[in-house]
Each structure stands twice: as C-alpha cells, then as structure tokens.
C-alpha cells in the first residue's frame, strides 16, 4: 500500500535561518507531488507541485523553493526564513490516472 | 482565474440538525469536484468526489452547474462530524487541487 512520510512534525526556527522539510512517498512510482501551506483563517494554499524528477512548478512567488531529487522525494527549502513563513505545511501526492490526493501528517513551522 | 469560495468560516449546529456546507467555484470548463475533511489530530483526507456519486458518512454533495456550486449536505449531523471541511476542484488538466478556505463544522451535543 502507498504511504507518505513527512518530517519533522514540528519545528521552531529563528528568523534568517535555513529550512528543509522532507517528504517521501512509498508504494507508488512517478507520483505528482505537492506542497501546501495552511495558514490560520486562509485555508490551503498550493505552493509547489511536481510531475517528475527535477520538474517543479511554483504557484506563489515567495521566500521558499522546492526540489525533487528523486522520484518519490520532495523537499521544501528556504535560505532565510521570515516570520511570515510560519504555518502548517502539508505534503501530498497523487497518481496521474487517479483523482485523489493523499496527504502527509504535516509540519507545524514556527519562525521566531 | 480558478477560484473557490466557502462563505462560512465556522458553522455550528446541534446534533441531529441538518447541515449544509456551501462551496462555490469559478472555473472554466468542467472541473472535477471533491470534498476533503480534516478531523482533529488526523490527516486531511478525501470525504467524497462528485464523479463517484457516493454518500460517505451520510454526506452527499450536489453539483449545480448553473450556480457553479457543490454544497455538502447531511440530514442529521453527529458530534463526530465536527471537523474542518475543504471544497477542492481539480483543474482541467488534472494536475492540481485548488482548495477553498475551509469551513470548520462544530456539532454541539
């Protein structure tokens, strides 16, 4: 069966520090991968999606970047965090031929 | 531009009362439509999709193309239905999900 792992679950980082959140998927090949941010009162905002290794599309220009070094690995990064980067980050995957997205447990990021 | 609105941030109903969570979308073409739910301390998960026409946990959703709405309904709410609900159309290219802002449903005893 397919599973998705996302870590860490919580993270407190100072302003200006770097960020790396990792997401891996098991049990499927060539999935579509997504990073979302869930800010209080604003719902889910799509940040990045990827349809293949090295293929990243950005939905919202910002202080973050994403990379897909392997088929089932998706990384969200920042060189210097801002206070406004605080939020709940969700990784998700979906199969092209299917229509459902499967979500990780999420990472609660607090920038202080 | 693709847009999804869920006008109610918070909806409180009493147990046994009917509940309707509103969703309106603005899309070109005919998007696929989904409802996702996030219970406390659990992952965001699929509740139902329009194309399957299923009733999940007593919930149904009717697509009204004229009004571009996909409201979620349940005739008798239960306390365990308390959760965050997101309406999510899938765009014409089948690659992305755009989520609405979400509605927090609170079912009171």
What integer pLDDT is reported at residue A1 of this predicted model?
73
Write the CB contacts of A94 (distance below 8 Å, at least 6 apart in sequence).
A31, A32, A34, A100, A101, A102, B97
Please tell me the distance from the alpha carbon of residue B95 to that of residue A80, in angstroms, as a whole number. 30
The residue among A7, A101, A104 with the most chain B CBs within 10 A of its CB, best to mutate, is A101
- Output the pLDDT for position A96: 64
Q: Could you tell me if B15 lies within 8 Å of chain A, comparing CB atoms?
A: no
| CB atoms B43 and A100 under 8 Å | no
Classify residue A59 by its DSSP letter: S
Report the pLDDT averaged over residues A97-102. Answer: 72
- The secondary element (H helix, E strand) that includes residue B14 is strand B10-14
- At B93 the pLDDT is 65
Beta strand A101-103 pairing with B24-26: unpaired
* pLDDT reported for residue B53: 73
Predicted local confidence at residue B107, as pLDDT: 97
Nearest to A105 among B43, B90, B101 (CB): B43
Contact A100 B44 (CB under 8 A): no
Cβ distance A104 to B43 less than 8 Å, yes or no, reads yes
Residues A41-99: tens digit of each pLDDT: 667 888 998 989 999 988 876 789 999 999 999 999 999 999 999 999 999 998 764 56
Q: Do A43 and B45 touch (CB under 8 A)?
A: no
A11 has pLDDT over 80: yes
Give tens-digit pLDDT for A18-47.
999 999 999 988 899 999 998 766 678 889
pLDDT in tens, chain B (109 residues): 678 899 999 999 999 999 999 999 887 777 788 999 999 989 999 999 887 777 789 999 988 888 889 999 999 999 999 999 999 888 766 667 788 889 999 999 9
By a Cβ cutoff of 8 Å, what residues of chain A touch chain B?
32, 34, 36, 41-46, 49, 51, 59, 90, 92, 94, 96, 99-101, 103-106
For chain B, how big is the Rg over CA atoms in Å?
Answer: 13
Of the candidates A43, A49, A99, the beta carbon closest to that of B49 is on A99
């Amino acid at each position: 069966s397919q599973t998705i792992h996302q870590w860490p679950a919580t993270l407190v980082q100072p302003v200006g520090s770097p960020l790396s959140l990792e997401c891996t998927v098991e049990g499927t090949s060539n999935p579509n991968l997504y990073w979302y941010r869930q800010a209080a009162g604003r719902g889910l905002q799509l940040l990045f999606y990827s349809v293949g290794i090295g293929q990243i599309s950005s939905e919202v220009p910002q202080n973050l970047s994403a990379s897909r070094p392997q088929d089932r690995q998706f990384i969200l990064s920042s060189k210097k965090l801002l206070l406004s980067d605080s939020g709940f980050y969700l990784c998700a995957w979906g199969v092209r031929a299917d229509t459902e997205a499967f979500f990780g447990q999420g990472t609660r990021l607090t920038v202080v | 531009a693709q847009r999804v609105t869920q006008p109610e941030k918070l909806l409180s109903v009493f147990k046994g009362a009917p509940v309707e969570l509103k969703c309106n979308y603005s899309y070109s073409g005919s998007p696929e439509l989904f409802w996702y739910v996030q219970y406390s301390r659990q992952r965001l998960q699929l509740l139902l999709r329009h194309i399957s026409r299923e009733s999940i946990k007593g919930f149904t959703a009717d697509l009204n193309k004229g009004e571009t709405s996909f409201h979620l309904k349940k005739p008798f709410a239960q306390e365990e239905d308390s959760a965050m609900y997101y309406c999510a159309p899938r765009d014409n290219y089948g690659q992305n999900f755009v989520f609405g802002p979400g509605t927090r449903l609170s079912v009171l005893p």
